[in-house]
A = this chain, B = another copy of it.
Amino acid sequence: MLIETVNSPADIKASDINQLTALAAEIRSGLMNRLSRRGGHFGPNFGIVEATIALHYVFDSPRDKFVFDVSHQCYTHKILTGRKAAFFDAAHFGDVSGYTNPEESEHDFFNVGHTSTSVSLACGLAKSRDLKGESGNVIAVIGDGSLSGGEALEGLDFAAELGSNFIIVVNDNDMSIAENHGGLYQNLKALRDTNGTAQCNLFRALGLDYRYVADGNDLAALIEAFSAVKDTDHPTVVHIRTKKGKGYLPAETDKESWHWHMPFDPETGKTLYTGGGENYGDLTCEYLMKKMKADRRVVTMVAAVPTNIGFTEEKRREAGAQFIDAGIAEEHAVAMASGIAKSGGKPVFATHSSFFQRTYDQLSQDLCINRSPATLLVNTASVYGMHDITHLGIFDIPMMSNIPNLVYLAPTNCEEYFAMLEWSIEQDRYPVAVRIPCNGVHHTDKPADTDYSALNRYQITQHGAKTAILALGDFYQLGEALAKLIAEKTGTAPTLINPRYITGLDEALLCQLKADHDTVITLEDGILDGGFGEKIARFYGTSDIKVFCYGLKKEFIDRYALEDVLKANHLTPEQICNDIYKGE
């Protein structure tokens, strides 16, 4: 095996094209070894093997600096930069993250996981090099799907201003996570169809030099192109056409399903573990499909992650003009939702908690100042959600709930979630966000309220005394367990409350609690700083009520074990009881 001799990029410099070709095949076997057993981004990594080898063959990392966009395609880069064990040896799978990570290697410059950031980050490296009078190449590697993001477009527009060495490799596999959306993809097609010679050229229109590689899986062609731009004195795009999932037929055939994939049998491509039972993705899709059929003003919107709310290709086709995939363009999506809602449409825009972070100003300016009655569905907004440092769902409460005019709702079970969603779509007074539950599909026999228009009315679900528990959203079930334990330990059943509204206080109810309670416990599935509990603490700050706030510490956690994080934050019923009643 050639790979045995490769421990750093220097080890491939003397290889000839046949050896590099053989190396590519070996790398794919390493990728297959990890991906089939652990899961991960399949298509992006299989598609960029040759390009990554060629980059490391031509350039001199880390003196020459690569910045991978999203960096979900960086596996070959990791293999070539001293981290091959994490792909070839199951015992070392845990050694690396799925993204670039400066803590792992001097060849990685940033922790990256969000899309569309590479060009701007790399511009910074180039500018710093120039300020210090240093030399070396700076290379951003960005996929076609990521180009539609505002930050990427701003970066591409600015890059021309650098006026010095800067290389942008556009890895065009004609796919985003699902199919691409946006006018620029017509231009990429025109460039592909003309072997890069079309006069109308997005990159040239942004002031950048340009070169095209028709087969981005051809090592010789890639090496020639990268060699030609190495040490260039001005910003240049190298547009390479690659095949997503290259080298594995199921992934080449069904690109969307194989963008990210669960562990599977390499022989058959069949997923090893099939998730059973209900999930909010499918349930949400089913609800929205029905709703859209009944009312043509309802429109479902996503930003490049359609299947996360169940919209498979088939469902998207069925929904037709009532389904919008804005591509990776969340800012546009929120503003467009505001426009639709303002003029009588009923938009429902869903994406991940972590991706709503790209829309703060649109939430504030386009949506909330205008009080446009759009519905936002906030997905994986929870400590139970995604565990990578770049995809945490624990910051949306401080980010969103402090924006005026927004009504942010936290359902505690399936029936309440759909009741809130139904109310939100039908009302025309408020911008409303709903946190999709993330701790499993809990059902209830009790009918959920259907009208949420009298804002900030909390719901007492168990009347008790002395202690009141405000258990928000996903932590309601924790609140139930805690209530039971407190009753057992103290002999007095506490009051249990479902606050429902993240964005406001039920001052009447909170005042009323003062009569026969001395302790209030808040539970929220997110960081405490800027969150829900602190508002309760402020409310009671001038009274004798003691307030204990439970939630997560303000910190970026990475690839965490759920149980560890819950324990570290005292988020088990036993720990909370001990904290509060230790002296009793």
A residues with a Cβ closer than 8 A to B are 65, 67, 102, 109-114, 117, 120-133, 148-151, 153-161, 181-187, 199-202, 204-208, 235, 296-297, 299, 321-322, 324, 326-327, 329, 331-332, 335-345, 347, 357-358, 360-362, 364-366, 368-370, 389-390, 395, 398-399, 401-405, 527-531, 533-535, 537-538, 540-543, 546-549, 554-556
Contacts and interface: CB of A to CB of B under 8 A. Distances in A.
B181 A207 contact: no
Number of copies: 2
B149 A365 contact: no
A7 B51 CA distance: 64
A402 B360 contact: no
Contact of A537 (B205, B208, B343, B538): B538
Contacts of A554: 402, 404
Contacts of A206: 182-184, 187, 202
B390 A369 contact: yes
A342 B150 contact: no
A124 B342 contact: yes
A182 B158 contact: yes
Contacts of A527: 402, 404
Given A124-B343, A157-B182, A186-B207, 8 more contacts: A120-B331, A127-B299, A200-B200, A357-B360, A369-B556, A534-B537, A537-B538, A541-B541
In order of increasing CB-CB distance, the 8 nearest A-B pairs are A124-B339, A150-B150, A183-B207, A160-B183, A120-B335, A541-B547, A402-B530, A199-B199
Given A161-B182, A336-B120, A345-B132, A151 B297 contact: no
Contact of A401 (B321, B530, B535, B547): B530
A45 to B, nearest CB: 21
A248 B401 CA distance: 46
A202 B153 CA distance: 12
A154 B158 contact: no
A204 B403 CA distance: 37
A321 to B, nearest CB: 7
B336 A124 contact: yes
Contacts of A344: 128, 132
Given A132-B344, A342-B110, A365-B114, A205 B181 contact: no
B131 A157 contact: no
A538 to B, nearest CB: 4
Nearest to A235: B183
A478 B125 CA distance: 43
Given A131-B340, A541-B546, A123 B357 contact: no
A341 B161 contact: no
Contacts of A537: 534, 537-538, 540-541, 547
Contacts of A125: 339-340, 342-343
B158 A336 contact: yes
Contacts of A403: 395
Contacts of A154: 148-150, 153, 326, 329, 331-332
B529 A339 contact: no
27 contacts: A65-B343, A67-B339, A110-B370, A121-B342, A128-B345, A131-B321, A132-B345, A148-B157, A150-B331, A151-B362, A153-B157, A154-B329, A158-B183, A158-B326, A158-B332, A183-B235, A187-B205, A357-B360, A357-B364, A395-B402, A401-B530, A537-B537, A537-B540, A537-B547, A538-B547, A540-B541, A542-B548
